Amino acid sequence: EAGVTQFPSHSVIEKGQTVTLRCDPISGHDNLYWYRRVMGKEIKFLLHFVKESKQDESGMPNNRFLAERTGGTYSTLKVQPAELEDSGVYFCASSQYIGGEKLFFGSGTQLSVL
């Protein structure tokens, strides 16, 4: 069974540019989550999709971040325009059920904004 895949694995961009991160969840998983870890800080929740609907986006830092999940399959997280403080590792996770025991994480996208 394929796991959660994310790409790119690394992205280096300049301040003010746009970057789009992609996450492919495990097939059949309706729940898709985005988390991020900013340098030296905890991993923090960004948002939660159930199929194509945003169930909870309370962790999105500001309106420069836009997440989509068209068709309820893969998801994208776009940062436009990127700022220095957006640098960090962005993780995606998926699960079959809300509150289920298994939450599977991808290996993350390391974003560096220079």
Partner 1 sequence: ELKVEQNPLFLSMQEGKNYTIYCNYSTTSDRLYWYRQDPGKSLESLFVLLSNGAVKQEGRLMASLDTKARLSTLHITAAVHDLSATYFCAVATRDFGNEKLTFGTGTRLTIIP
List contacts with partner 1 (CB under 8 A). Answer: 3-4, 9, 33, 35, 41-45, 48, 55-56, 59, 91, 93, 98-99, 101-108
Smallest distance from partner 1 to CB 4, Å: 7
Spatial neighbors of 38 by CB under 8 A, at least 6 apart, are 44, 85, 87, 88
From the list 47, 32, 36, the residue with the least C-alpha distance to 113 is: 36
* DSSP string for 26-63: -TT--EEEEEEEETTS-EEEEEEEETTEEEE-TT--ST
The residues pairing with 89 across neighbouring beta strands, listed in sequence order, are 37, 110
Q: How far is C-alpha 75 from the geometric centre of its chain's CA atoms?
A: 8
